[in-house]
Structure 1
């Protein structure tokens, strides 16, 4: 078989190593396009310039380009249909992607086929002095949740309990939403949008009824019109706050709830017309009301889940991203990994702000990784880091480290992480002035 050239937007070294272990990798050459720091370590996204430079690099490659893929959220996922169209490589259409990523359009489309499984919602302009009144007129009352039309992680998401909360949230949104709205609007200009959706551009926000419960993510893909959910990952939050404690795979949800989520997934993704690409859908199961809620649809595999699939199933689910981009039915193994269960833990602090004055040394990290086989620890800060400068944080905490672990059962997994976390030593200094 001839070598296939696969370009990966924002390719970094850990993901290169992971990709080189997928099935068939001996026949692939992975190339980076756009530096990872441009899409992963910043909140400034000159998307038009990045697309132009990427297109120039790829068209100057001199060999066949067999696939262009990505594994990150905005702006990478949103750029891919534009870049693939220019290069003639495979992915889903821009419109089908935006029916997932444009939160208002997505809710409109979801309402057409699974209305009983989504919250009440409305769009609003954060710069409109009458925004709160309009939200009430749409039938939403305290408490509710607000976020940008194109959200990125948990950034700029707020639970609103009062007019004061709304005023605080709107002030933050008006200050920071431009970093998302300007590049997202560039993408919207290239899409065929319904008139009422076009009026709700990237500078708008969503207000939604509060939903909650047991949160999870259904990972799936569509190949030639066939929607295939292949794994469910639980998302565990810290008590009483929105911040994630861990992701856990496989899910511990009841079997009939998992099956209903897979059914909903097949219904909505087929209705959207999404095709030949990976996705994931976040859901809640409200155990008290025995009700399932669809939270949001993401147009990529979850990078945070790659290591867990590798540990449990035997290979990163980036296998699916690559196979689809090459026009192949995904060759994803099942339960062939070294561990029965796996997790990604978020080691966090709940500060307003601070400067990091101490982090675990490389030797301390290596010792912990050796003490817990299969563990990987990646620090997100260094000495001198100001916590408020960290990109892609939620509104309530700061993630200092990510910890991936595997075990033979859930009890061992939790006990091992608790022991490890006690040995991760950070120190901080207050911000002066």
Structure 2
């Protein structure tokens, strides 16, 4: 019998990825809400989004076998509510919030893996005495701040001085309502401890600065068993916080990856997260041989889909779909055509600018043809402001992504340079 899988925010790119998965000949994929509603905007009316999704599902004449998604907030937090109503498999809302509510998440980490958890405290950015209270929590410059419900790297700042903190709080006060109001709606639906309920959606985190070589462990939990299945390196541009590329497989020592996987199993088991995919971001400080945990994400990383397909032979969308249908994920290992793969981010480091020229579709195709198997996605349109791009970090704008594979890392980087020579973006009204 045909299985009907509803994918929240399904776009053309992921529709093509889903068609290439294993065991989906009997699966029909249906979009639920549009990408414009849940990922191509920074305005989220969650009650209205839930109602529209429920109206679509209620009107569907057939079985609803799975409701899944691959997008961060608000999709990740909407899925437990939808899945509970329609009886499909997903992690519970409370276990998901133990990962996504950054203060709750840190509290849980401090309980079970304190040696891998940095110092932290929550603060109200609208409190004029917030900086002194952060100091009372034994956090000194430098430290990092971010919303308790961060999305990507949005509204994350390194704080080296009181002036940096003033700048960050000005930005947070102006923009955090776009996150806090919809997140508060979700929090109201959950059974929260009093200590967590007091830390509302507009609160932020101050955390000890941690560093080293950054990576992400991808994993899932199936009927209580925590299964890590891959480690992806996160390589930053020199001297800045913005990501340059994601690299798979990781180049970290195997012993370090094994330790991260063991920490992952211990933490996710303690949280009680089940029947869903996740990933955990880590740092390895190789000087002190210290592993730090950065954060937990309650979804697979979209950026890593093509990397797994190139190297292992199947996108890890396989995890999302199999778990949604109650099946043990059928991931492959090293069955792909490449030894190594990456997603590169073409970035510009402006405060803002107007996009005056973008490559045409034909130019993108020519650029991709420089290296077999390359795919390019451009995120900007002519005459738009860079500040209109959603989900950007505080220091740069990603205007395009390039996915490609190779047999070794040096060849991969050389290939990227050949592709980029064919891409021509231009900007005007630049704010440095």
Tell me the TM-score normalized by structure 2: 0.99
CA deviation string 1:385-424 (max 9, x = no partner): 1111111111001111100001111111011012222222
Deviating more after overlay: 361-370 vs 84-93:
361-370
In the other structure, the counterpart of 1:103 is 102
8 Å CA contact 1:307–1:316 kept in 2: the answer is: yes
8 Å CA contact 1:97–1:274 kept in 2: the answer is: yes
In the other structure, the counterpart of 1:214 is 213
Is the partner of 1:25 in helix, strand or coil?
A: coil
For residues 317 and 273 of structure 2, the distance between their equivalents in structure 1, rounded to whole angstroms, comes to 18
In the other structure, the counterpart of 1:253 is 252
Correspondence 1:8 to 2:13: no
In the other structure, the counterpart of 1:24 is 23
Instruction: Summarize the alignment of residues 115-134 of structure 1 with structure 2, pairs less than 5 Å apart.
Output: 115-134=114-133
Q: Which runs of 5+ in 2 are unaligned?
A: none
In the other structure, the counterpart of 2:415 is 416
Correspondence 1:146 to 2:145: yes
Q: How far did residue 315 of structure 1 move?
A: 1.0
Distance 1:70 1:338, change over 3 A: same
CA deviation string 1:21-51 (max 9, x = no partner): 1011111000000111111110000011101
For residues 349 and 369 of structure 2, the distance between their equivalents in structure 1, rounded to whole angstroms, comes to 29
Instruction: Summarize the alignment of residues 160-199 of structure 1 with structure 2, pairs less than 5 Å apart.
Output: 160-199=159-198
CA deviation string 1:251-308 (max 9, x = no partner): 0000100000000000000000000000000000011111000000000000110010
CA deviation string 1:99-121 (max 9, x = no partner): 00000000000111100001000
Count of residues in Structure 1 that have an aligned counterpart in Structure 2? 431
In the other structure, the counterpart of 1:401 is 400
Correspondence 1:92 to 2:85: no
Correspondence 1:367 to 2:366: yes
For residues 299 and 400 of structure 1, the distance between their equivalents in structure 2, rounded to whole angstroms, comes to 25
Is the partner of 2:352 in helix, strand or coil?
A: coil
Runs of 4+ in 1 over 4 A off after TM superposition: none
CA deviation string 1:235-259 (max 9, x = no partner): 0000110000000000000010000
Q: How far did residue 431 of structure 1 move?
A: 5.4
Correspondence 1:60 to 2:59: yes
For residues 231 and 27 of structure 1, the distance between their equivalents in structure 2, rounded to whole angstroms, comes to 27
CA deviation string 1:46-76 (max 9, x = no partner): 0111011101110110111000000010000
For residues 33 and 57 of structure 2, the distance between their equivalents in structure 1, rounded to whole angstroms, comes to 11
8 Å CA contact 1:313–1:337 kept in 2: the answer is: yes
In the other structure, the counterpart of 2:389 is 390
8 Å CA contact 2:148–2:203 kept in 1: the answer is: yes
Instruction: Summarize the alignment of residues 320-339 of structure 1 with structure 2, pairs less than 5 Å apart.
Output: 320-339=319-338
For residues 361 and 34 of structure 1, the distance between their equivalents in structure 2, rounded to whole angstroms, comes to 28
8 Å CA contact 1:360–1:426 kept in 2: the answer is: yes
For residues 377 and 389 of structure 1, the distance between their equivalents in structure 2, rounded to whole angstroms, comes to 20
For residues 370 and 169 of structure 2, the distance between their equivalents in structure 1, rounded to whole angstroms, comes to 46
Instruction: Summarize the alignment of residues 194-343 of structure 1 with structure 2, pairs less than 5 Å apart.
Output: 194-343=193-342
8 Å CA contact 1:55–1:87 kept in 2: the answer is: no
For residues 180 and 427 of structure 2, the distance between their equivalents in structure 1, rounded to whole angstroms, comes to 34
CA deviation string 1:363-382 (max 9, x = no partner): 11111212210100111112
8 Å CA contact 1:55–1:86 kept in 2: the answer is: no
Deviating more after overlay: 230-239 vs 351-360:
351-360
Is the partner of 2:336 in helix, strand or coil?
A: coil
Q: Which runs of 5+ in 1 are unaligned?
A: none
In the other structure, the counterpart of 2:347 is 348
For residues 392 and 192 of structure 2, the distance between their equivalents in structure 1, rounded to whole angstroms, comes to 31
For residues 145 and 369 of structure 2, the distance between their equivalents in structure 1, rounded to whole angstroms, comes to 43
CA deviation string 1:57-96 (max 9, x = no partner): 1011011100000001000011100011111111010000
Deviating more after overlay: 408-417 vs 228-237:
408-417
